[in-house]
Amino acid sequence: MKGEELVMLPGPVGVSHETLLAMATSMFSHRGPKFAKLYSDVREKLRSLLNTNGEVYFITSSGTGGVEFSASNLAGPGEKVVVCTNGFFAERLRDSFLAVGADVTEVQSRWGEPVDLSELEKRAEGAAIVAAVFNETSTGVVNQAKKIADIAHSKGALCLMDNISGVGNEYYMDPWNIDVTVLATQKGLATPPGSSFVVMSPEAREKARKTKKRSYYFNFDLYEKQAADLATPATPAISILYALNHSLDQILSEGVEKFTARHHQNAEAFRLALGALGLNLFANKNYASDTISAIKMPGNARKVVETMSKRFEVVVSTGLGQFREDVIRVGHMGRVDMKDIVTTVGALEMSMKLNSIGSFKLGDGVSAAMSKYLEQ
């Protein structure tokens, strides 16, 4: 083996050598024209990617910090927040709002299923915020963001989407009327971990201005003031932003439509391969994510993940929470292409055979995946 792993995790994801090299710059002041240019470039590119004119706040933290920034600036103590929970990260989103003292109403749906819209409709009355995870990384479900936003607005609430693992699926922030989007660098943006972003509509900014602030590091007013000067209140992760700027150039030169179409094709090829191996998605297939597949592997997840990594240098992940032993999660986002999908399917098949799982013929999965790429 070459000693080079193929990273197919649901994050962090593989980063190109060129993007890594873009980080290799000397440092400079984050309160000067050079940083202002970097800030402005990244902001415009994120807007293009998300289809929004919203304001972009640069938060130096992993994705959880972006979620906490949103929760602490949007929900005052005792204010009603409806959180749609259908997976591990949605439960963390709920916990972020609980931590800032919001009066949280949970709309629970089964893991693997999308958010139950009729239940949301019944329970969203009087809410200030309706929050959900767009792409649930624990289950591989994509929620119906536009419909959730429509329900939120019909009740006079703002809509927040954690889109940390969703980049690569179609996402139209302004056309879908989403008020707040949270992103992080290490998933579909194909950049090392270290920065998150909160994008806000004018209405969300207005709400954040009025909310009583309970955090100093995440105080919206400080971010708002600095954003006017294309700066951040504290020292940003300059190198990570350079890498992101480069990665966004790659995405935008591919074109957002082609970028999402490539994710869809890879996801379809991968799903076809799973079918040929007799495997099932954990997610309801009508809501399957194009960036992450969670695969049912009852009782065998750990063994297969270990074999894929040790024997074949393909790194994927087990399930989360109660499904740790029963689910394998594969990320197919960022720079993933046909070679990566075919290699991952090959490693999956061989690892299943080595562990005496399934009754397929070696090559069935790879053959199914390849056929997708030869379709006209």
Ligand X SMILES: Cc1ncc(COP(=O)(O)O)c(C=O)c1O
CB 188 within 8 A of CB 165: yes
Q: Pick one of 96, 105, 137, 293: the residue that binds ligand X (CB under 6 A).
A: 137
Give how many residues touch ligand X by CB under 6 A.
11
**Segment 157 to 186, residues that bind ligand X, using CB under 6 A:** 162, 164-165, 184
Nearer of residues 52 and 70 to ligand X, judged by Cβ? 70
Minimal distance in Å, beta carbon 95 to ligand X? 11
Nearer of residues 133 and 350 to ligand X, judged by Cβ? 133
CB 330 within 8 A of CB 310: no
Nearer of residues 140 and 346 to ligand X, judged by Cβ? 140
- Nearest one of 197, 200, 246 to 41, comparing CA atoms: 246
Minimal distance in Å, beta carbon 240 to ligand X? 12
Q: Pick one of 11, 76, 114, 140: the residue that binds ligand X (CB under 6 A).
A: 11
Give the nearest residue (CB) to ligand X.
63
Say whether 58 sits in a helix, a strand or coil: strand
**Segment 38 to 97, residues that bind ligand X, using CB under 6 A:** 62-64, 89
Who's near 122: CB < 8 A, 6+ residues apart? none
Nearer of residues 82 and 164 to ligand X, judged by Cβ? 164
User: What CA–CA distance (Å, rounded) separates 188 from 172?
Assistant: 16
Minimal distance in Å, beta carbon 133 to ligand X? 5
CB 221 within 8 A of CB 198: no
CB 61 within 8 A of CB 182: no
Q: What is the DSSP string of 304-332?
A: HHHHHHHHH-EE-EE--GGGTTTEEEEE-
Which tokens belong to 147?
Answer: 């419909």
Q: Residue 193: is the preceding peptide bond cis (ω within 30°)?
A: no
Minimal distance in Å, beta carbon 63 to ligand X? 3
Q: Pick one of 124, 133, 159, 342: the residue that binds ligand X (CB under 6 A).
A: 133
CB 342 within 8 A of CB 331: no
Minimal distance in Å, beta carbon 100 to ligand X? 16
If one counts every other C-beta atom within 10 angstroms of the C-beta of residue 18, the result is 12
User: What CA–CA distance (Å, rounded) separates 147 from 78?
Assistant: 26
Minimal distance in Å, beta carbon 164 to ligand X? 4
Minimal distance in Å, beta carbon 321 to ligand X? 13
Minimal distance in Å, beta carbon 357 to ligand X? 27
User: What CA–CA distance (Å, rounded) separates 238 from 242?
Assistant: 6
Minimal distance in Å, beta carbon 324 to ligand X? 15
Nearer of residues 137 and 266 to ligand X, judged by Cβ? 137
User: What CA–CA distance (Å, rounded) separates 316 from 304?
Assistant: 9
Nearer of residues 277 and 283 to ligand X, judged by Cβ? 283
Nearer of residues 161 and 204 to ligand X, judged by Cβ? 161
- Nearest one of 237, 235, 210 to 221, comparing CA atoms: 210
Which amino acid is located at 257 in the chain?
E
- Nearest one of 276, 301, 15, 313 to 138, comparing CA atoms: 301
Residue 195 touches ligand X, criterion: CB under 6 A: no
Nearer of residues 188 and 365 to ligand X, judged by Cβ? 188
Nearer of residues 69 and 89 to ligand X, judged by Cβ? 89
Residues of this chain that interact with ligand X (CB under 6 A) are 11, 62-64, 89, 133, 137, 162, 164-165, 184
